[in-house]
């Protein structure tokens, strides 16, 4: 029977809830006594970096594990807990992927699901004050985080270079759209003060993932939290503050206070893997106001007596509807998607035929 060395694994994010979850998984299917419980710190093309609480080592993944994950429409993610074992030559192999307690995934433009991170407790949503600040993007990140049951903390960086007006308008915009209970910190990501402000969210054993667009200051903040320049950081473009995608892979780091942080590359376009129910949760204000609309099937368009239109920023409502449309498209089965494409094509053909007939008549 596999024992969990809680003290050793706590430095890489083991929590009591995880122990319970993992023991339940392992009880169903007892592992080989030679296997060790470790955490995925990096995922590369051919190998993974595993952390055992003391040191990191490189390992290859059994093809069977990759096949099973692909079949489940997912893949290995930084933060996953796994079982690994050395072969006769001393080379480490990842033998078993343990279903994560929490998992963040995103969708690409084709609706395919991609893993982001596993077993994180908190998401630090990093956004630069100034050109990077964008409420719609923040709303998308919040939908992603709510769908995966992480605690969101909004981290607005570059407070040292932002004007008072920029800071005020950012706070005002957030207050108009989000619940006042949403945690918000405003920092210079390079200053140790940022670590102090985030300390309440980074208790021993906790795992935080930093998310945000390129140039927002995710790696800068990661370095400040670690207390050393471990991650490369890069300059941003002068005219729009956009980053140059300096970080290219996700990586897990231990912090001096006993928490872990996962640095991630800035995503170009974020499409959360959130279904309608998760979105309804993230946009709870809209859902509860909708109960007061005059019509039960109100679409919050131009119906009279619409409580949603009266109480929600129009841009937030538009963003919600856009995310809902994407979610419906993403959750369509392959067959449904094929049928939709066929329908579009048929409509296109009918349109062509009509246009042709018209030309021939005139
Ligand atoms: N003045 C100031 N500069 C910051 C702050 N945060 C980040 N920067 C600078 O912004 C630039 C981009 O920071 P990074 O940490 O590399 O950004 P990133 O989010 O990791 O970007 P990618 O890795 O490309 O996704 C660097 O030049 C940082 O020094 C801040 O709070 N204040
Ligand atoms: Mg970075
Ligand atoms: Zn309505």
User: What tens digit of pLDDT does each residue of 34-47 get?
Assistant: 999 999 999 999 99
Q: Which residue has the tokens 């419906």?
A: 328
| CA distances to 40, 41, 100, 354 from 55, in Å | 12, 11, 22, 69
Is 221 exposed, middle or buried (CB count within 10 Å of its CB: 0-12, 13-18, 19+)? buried
Mean of the per-residue pLDDT values of the chain: 92
Taking the centre of ligand 3 as the mean of its atom positions, its distance from the CA of residue 299, in whole angstroms, is 6
Q: Which residue has the tokens 């007596």?
A: 305
**What pLDDT score was predicted for residue 360?**
66
Is 66 exposed, middle or buried (CB count within 10 Å of its CB: 0-12, 13-18, 19+)? middle
**What pLDDT score was predicted for residue 331?**
72
Higher-scoring residue by pLDDT: 124, 27: 124
Taking the centre of ligand 1 as the mean of its atom positions, its distance from the CA of residue 256, in whole angstroms, is 22
Which pTM value belongs to this model? 0.90
Helices 314-330, 135-147: crossing angle, 10 deg rounding = 40
**Using a 6 Å cutoff on CB, does residue 273 contact ligand 1?**
no
Is pLDDT of 117 > 80?
Answer: yes
Is pLDDT of 308 > 90?
Answer: yes
Neighbours of ion ligand 3 (CB under 5 A): 293, 298, 300, 306, 308
Is pLDDT of 105 > 60?
Answer: yes
Nearest CA to ligand 1 atom 3: 158
**Using a 6 Å cutoff on CB, does residue 311 contact ligand 1?**
no
**Using a 6 Å cutoff on CB, does residue 216 contact ligand 1?**
yes
- Cα 252 from Cα 210, distance rounded (Å): 11
**Using a 6 Å cutoff on CB, does residue 341 contact ligand 1?**
no
Is pLDDT of 135 > 60?
Answer: yes
**Using a 6 Å cutoff on CB, does residue 194 contact ligand 1?**
no
Taking the centre of ligand 1 as the mean of its atom positions, its distance from the CA of residue 202, in whole angstroms, is 21
Ligand 1, closest atom to CA 248? 23
Nearest CA to ligand 1 atom 7: 217
**What pLDDT score was predicted for residue 356?**
73
Mean pLDDT of 172-181: 91
Model pLDDT for residues 64-96, shown as the tens digit of each residue: 999 999 999 899 999 999 999 999 999 999 999
- Cα 233 from Cα 214, distance rounded (Å): 10
Higher-scoring residue by pLDDT: 32, 343: 32
Q: Which of 31-45, 115-129, 264-278 comes out lowest in average pLDDT?
A: 264-278
Nearest CA to ligand 1 atom 11: 235
- Cα 100 from Cα 161, distance rounded (Å): 39
Beta bridge pairs of residue 293: none
**What pLDDT score was predicted for residue 328?**
87
Is pLDDT of 362 > 60?
Answer: no
- Percentage of the chain beyond pLDDT 70 is 97
- Cα 79 from Cα 50, distance rounded (Å): 10
Mean pLDDT of 184-199: 97
């Amino acid at each position: 029977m596999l024992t969990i060395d809680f003290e050793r694994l706590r430095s890489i994010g083991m929590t009591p809830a995880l122990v319970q979850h993992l023991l339940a998984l392992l009880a169903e299917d007892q592992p080989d006594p030679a296997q060790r419980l470790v955490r995925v710190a990096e995922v590369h093309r051919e190998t993974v970096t595993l952390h055992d609480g003391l040191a990191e080592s490189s390992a290859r993944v059994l093809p069977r594990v990759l096949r099973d994950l692909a079949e489940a429409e997912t893949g290995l993610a930084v933060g996953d807990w796994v079982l690994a074992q050395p072969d006769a030559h001393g080379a480490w192999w990842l033998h078993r992927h343990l279903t994560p307690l929490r998992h963040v995934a995103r969708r690409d433009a084709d609706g395919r699901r991609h893993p982001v991170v596993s077993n994180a407790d908190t998401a630090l949503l990093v956004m630069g004050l100034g050109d990077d600040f964008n409420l719609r993007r923040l709303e998308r990140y919040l939908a992603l985080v709510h769908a995966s049951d992480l605690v969101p903390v909004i981290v607005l960086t570059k407070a040292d270079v932002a004007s008072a007006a920029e800071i005020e308008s950012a706070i005002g915009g957030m207050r108009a759209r989000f619940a006042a209970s949403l945690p918000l910190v405003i920092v210079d990501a390079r200053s140790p003060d940022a670590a102090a402000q985030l300390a309440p969210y980074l208790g021993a054993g906790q795992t935080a993932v930093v998310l945000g667009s390129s140039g927002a200051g995710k790696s800068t903040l990661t370095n400040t939290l670690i207390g050393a320049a471990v991650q490369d950081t890069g300059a941003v473009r002068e005219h729009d503050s956009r980053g140059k995608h300096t970080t290219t892979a996700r990586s897990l780091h231990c912090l001096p206070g006993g928490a872990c942080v996962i640095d991630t590359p800035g995503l170009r376009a974020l499409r959360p893997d959130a279904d309608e129910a998760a979105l309804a949760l993230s946009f709870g204000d809209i859902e509860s106001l909708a109960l007061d609309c005059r019509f039960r099937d109100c679409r919050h368009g131009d119906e009279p007596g619409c409580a949603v239109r009266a109480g929600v920023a129009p841009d937030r409502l538009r963003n919600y509807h856009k995310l809902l449309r994407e979610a419906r498209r993403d959750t369509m089965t392959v067959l449904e998607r094929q049928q939709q494409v066929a329908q579009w094509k048929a409509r296109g053909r009918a349109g062509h035929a009509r246009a042709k007939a018209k030309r021939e008549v005139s």
